[in-house]
């Protein structure tokens, strides 16, 4: 009798270890189906839940602890609840890959077109997609789309153009994916209302921001009746000589167009020194990020007009 009890206890311990190992692979979450496959009955599961050793999450999932739920736990639960071919996608995948300073409004999941979705929980957004491809999925730390693919879909699915541009920009700026990788993934998108916007952002990020920004500034000045500035103006100061993106010589006003690289540490110090040197020599220096031209151009052009007016410009005066 004692030997039988010992054997039963050892089997239970072995099952418990197997359940813990499975949960450790999945953010401390397992499905009831997985627990049944390991040998746990509905009664065993219910007993652990009633004893508050475990907690339910959704319809199908059980968390093998009763502490706070981590983001990884919630992601795994969403994938397991949605079905066997579901994976984290879009902005949620970017955050899972390490994107900082951004909080998705919901957990975004993708499943193949026509797939049967098992359960849609609160705060979970499941999309059926014709672009579902198992080669686009990585399995760590949770099944999710590859970061370049996730960046493209985050852009296409964003709630606004502003959010779309920020997500792609942050992905590149934080080193999660290169522009070339995102562009390669974007080539598979044949029709979407944000396809052109995505291409423009990628051109900006690839280093073409200078020429693209120059065209936008000149066009914006013409549309608003502002005088056209000199381009690539040479400015000699006691601290050195600098080529400036735009300068209104008569009104000693400078606009420097900042591409994405200006946010990186290796450019920050040199840009700041040049800015300060020109400003100390008497010019008003305004910085205009390329992203600002996309998101809120009127606000930046109003600042340019204000600077020119303070320096003595009035409509009708030529540069």
DSSP conformation class of 208: I
Instruction: Give the 3-state secondary structure percentages of the chain, helix then strand then coil, rounded to 5.
Output: 50, 20, 30
**DSSP string of 151-193, one letter each residue:** HHHHHHH-SSHHHHHHHHHHHHHTTSS-HHHHHHHHTT--S-T
DSSP bridge pairs for 231: 246
Please compute the mean of the pLDDT values over residues 222-240 and round it to a whole number: 79
H or E segment at 126? strand 124-129
User: Nearest 5°: CA angle at 252, between 220 and 314?
Assistant: 60
Q: What is the pLDDT of residues 170-179, one digit of tens each?
A: 998 889 999 8
Buried b (16+ CB within 10 A) or exposed e, 136-161: bbbeebbbbbbbbbbbbbbbbbbeee
As a whole number, the mean pLDDT across the chain is 85
| 23 three-state secondary structure | helix
d(CA 206, CA 209): 7
Residue 213 and residue 196 in contact, taking contact as beta carbons nearer than 8 Å? no
Please compute the mean of the pLDDT values over residues 7-19 and round it to a whole number: 80
d(CA 187, CA 196): 11
Output the six-digit token pair for 298.
Answer: 């009127």
List the single range of 120-129, 199-208, 246-255 with lowest mean pLDDT: 199-208
pLDDT at position 281 = 76
Please compute the mean of the pLDDT values over residues 68-84 and round it to a whole number: 93
- In terms of pLDDT, which residue wins out, 159 or 272? 159
The residue behind tokens 């502002």 is 226
Confidence of residue 180 (pLDDT cuts 50, 70, 90): confident
- In terms of pLDDT, which residue wins out, 312 or 268? 312
Q: What is the pLDDT of residues 111-158, one digit of tens each?
A: 988 777 765 667 889 888 887 888 999 998 999 999 999 999 999 999
Output the six-digit token pair for 73.
Answer: 């736990």
> Alpha carbon of 127 to those of 76, 84, 97, 109: distances in Å?
17, 14, 20, 6
The angle, 0 to 180 degrees and rounded to 10, between the axes of the packed helices 195-203 and 147-157 is 130
Where do the domains of the chain lie, and which CATH numbers do they carry? 9-63 (no CATH), 71-193 (no CATH), 208-310 (3.40.960.10)
Confidence of residue 93 (pLDDT cuts 50, 70, 90): very high
Please compute the mean of the pLDDT values over residues 9-34 and round it to a whole number: 90
- In terms of pLDDT, which residue wins out, 269 or 88? 88
Report if pTM > 0.85: no
d(CA 275, CA 277): 6
Output the six-digit token pair for 184.
Answer: 């390669």
pLDDT at position 308 = 95
Q: Is the peptide bond before 141 cis (omega within 30 degrees of 0)?
A: yes
Please compute the mean of the pLDDT values over residues 26-52 and round it to a whole number: 94
Number of neighbours of residue 12 by Cβ within 10 angstroms: 13
List the single range of 129-138, 167-176, 204-213, 285-294 with lowest mean pLDDT: 204-213
pLDDT at position 218 = 83
d(CA 153, CA 176): 15
Residue 49 and residue 62 in contact, taking contact as beta carbons nearer than 8 Å? yes
pLDDT at position 209 = 43
């Amino acid at each position: 009798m004692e030997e039988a009890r010992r054997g039963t206890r050892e089997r239970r311990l072995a099952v418990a270890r197997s359940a813990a190992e499975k949960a450790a692979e999945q953010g401390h979450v397992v499905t009831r189906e997985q627990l049944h496959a390991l040998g746990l009955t509905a009664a065993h599961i219910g007993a652990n839940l009633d004893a508050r050793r475990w907690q339910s999450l959704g319809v199908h999932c059980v968390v093998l602890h009763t502490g706070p739920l981590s983001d990884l736990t919630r992601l795994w639960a969403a994938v397991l609840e949605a079905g066997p071919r579901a994976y984290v996608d879009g902005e949620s995948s970017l955050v899972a890959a390490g994107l900082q300073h951004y909080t998705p409004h919901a957990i975004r999941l993708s499943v193949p077109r026509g797939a049967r979705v098992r359960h849609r929980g609160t705060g979970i957004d499941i999309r059926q997609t014709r672009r579902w491809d198992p080669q686009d999925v990585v399995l760590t730390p949770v099944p999710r789309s590859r970061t370049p693919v996730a960046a493209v879909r985050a852009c296409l699915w964003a709630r606004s153009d502003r959010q779309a541009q920020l997500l792609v920009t942050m992905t590149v700026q934080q080193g999660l994916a290169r522009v070339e990788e995102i562009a390669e993934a974007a080539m598979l998108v044949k029709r979407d209302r944000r396809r052109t916007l995505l291409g423009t952002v990628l051109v900006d990020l690839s280093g073409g921001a200078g020429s693209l920004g120059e065209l936008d500034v000149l066009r914006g000045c013409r549309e608003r009746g502002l005088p056209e500035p000199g381009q690539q103006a040479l400015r000699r100061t006691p601290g050195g000589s600098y080529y400036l993106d735009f300068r209104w010589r008569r009104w000693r006003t400078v606009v420097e167009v900042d591409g994405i690289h200006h946010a990186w540490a290796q450019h920050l110090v040199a840009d700041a020194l040049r800015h300060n040197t020109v400003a100390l020599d008497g010019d008003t220096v305004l910085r205009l990020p390329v992203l600002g031209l996309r998101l809120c151009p009127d606000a930046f052009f109003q600042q340019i007009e204000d600077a020119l007016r303070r320096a003595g410009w009035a409509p009708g005066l030529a540069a």
